[in-house]
Amino acid sequence: MATRRLWPGVGRLFTIGTMLGRGRRAYSASLAFAEVLRLPSNQRTKLVFPLQELQRFLVPGSNPDLHLKIFDPTLDDIARAESIFTASARNRIDYVSSAVRLDHAPDLRCPEVCFIGRSNVGKSSLIKALFSFAPEVEVRVSKKPGHTKKMNFFKVGRYFTLVDMPGYGYRAPEDFVDMVEDYLKERRNLMRTFLLVDSVVGIQKTDNIAIEMCEEFALPYVMVLTKIDKSSKGRLLKQVLQIQKFVDTETQGCFPQLFPVSAVTFSGIHLLRCFIADITGNLD
Ligand code: GDP
């Protein structure tokens, strides 16, 4: 497997990182991924490539395509992405500002990605997990009923901006649409929209608000399946296959490969970081 072939290269990357003196945090982040690499291969697959691990549970011969290989980075790529997500004096990861409308959004020119999903889908937990090597970043949550929900902008060094969009629910779908429609339609540097779906319950009626917007505006978007630690492998596989079928047959702009994640076990987090680094042009 690619893992073994690339091991010497990955080792070299850590040594270089340390020699360059990228600071204590970068060093410890590298160590954390080095620890991942030292895991037995089945545990490493479970953590880094959860979809690949699920594929082992398919009925032999049934062979549905989980599109595993569409985004299939090397471990070197994953290690590079980890360093982008690691805060240091040279790589500041900060909350920038919040906005309720596009014309209040900060004028940031670097590539942007945004995260949308219904309230309680696990969006703040996921963003916190992505920023686990920037612990001082405060992922603001405003859940009090009636409290204005905003788009929150985070700058990741000189690499990209991540936008935490307001959660939507069935109570006020038109508020959500009013707030985010212009942003989704007109934000020039928006490279990809990450649409979060709770893997325990699958795609809900309210998720169609976001799916229909992405489709209507012809946005390239990606489905991220949250809370995968909560289901048995069988249940999760069933949901994954259903969502996969939906993506294959009902969508135009959705990336065919799904990204299952857990903010609790960190399963899928490294791969998602790497995908974000890649689509924002930072792994070229
Ligand atoms: P948000 O409203 O989309 O920002 O959702 P939160 O991140 O606040 O999460 C909603 C609830 O789901 C909280 O109780 C979280 O602790 C829980 N949660 C979020 N992500 C996960 C996960 O990956 N695994 C588990 N088991 N629970 C999660």
Whole-number CA gyration radius for the chain = 19
Number of H helices, E strands in the chain: 10, 7
227 Cα: distance to centroid of ligand 1 (angstroms): 7
pLDDT over 80 at 126, yes or no: yes
Of all protein residues, the one whose alpha carbon is nearest to atom 22 of ligand 1 is 227
Please give the distance, rounded to the nearest whole angstrom, from the Cα atom of residue 269 to the centre of ligand 1.
14
- What was the pLDDT predicted at 21? 32
Q: Closest by alpha carbon to 27, among 75, 92, 82?
A: 82
| Among 194, 167, 178, 179, residue whose Cα is nearest residue 257 | 194
Atom of ligand 1 at shortest range from CA of 128: 7
Average pLDDT over residues 202-224: 95
Per-residue pLDDT band for 179 (boundaries 50, 70, 90) equals confident
84 CA from centroid of ligand 1 (Å): 24
Q: Looking at residue 177, what is its pLDDT?
A: 85
* Structural contact between residues 42 and 276, judged by C-beta atoms closer than 8 angstroms: no
Q: Does the pLDDT of residue 171 top 70, yes or no?
A: no
Phi, psi of 277 (to 5 degrees): -60, -40
Q: Where are the beta strands (DSSP E) in the chain?
A: 93-99, 112-117, 151-156, 160-164, 190-198, 221-226, 259-260
Residue 119 burial (10 A CB sphere; 0-12, 13-18, 19+): middle
What is the CA(193)–ligand 1 centre distance, in A?
Answer: 19
Question: According to the model, what pLDDT value does residue 148 have?
Answer: 55
Nearest residue by C-alpha to atom 21 in ligand 1: 227
Is the pLDDT at 25 greater than 90? The verdict is: no
Query: Which residues' Cβ are closer than 6 Å to ligand 1?
Result: 117, 119-125, 141, 167, 226-227, 229-230, 262-264
CA of 264 to the centre of ligand 1 (A): 9
What tens digit of pLDDT does each residue of 138-168 get? 886 655 554 557 899 999 999 999 999 998 8
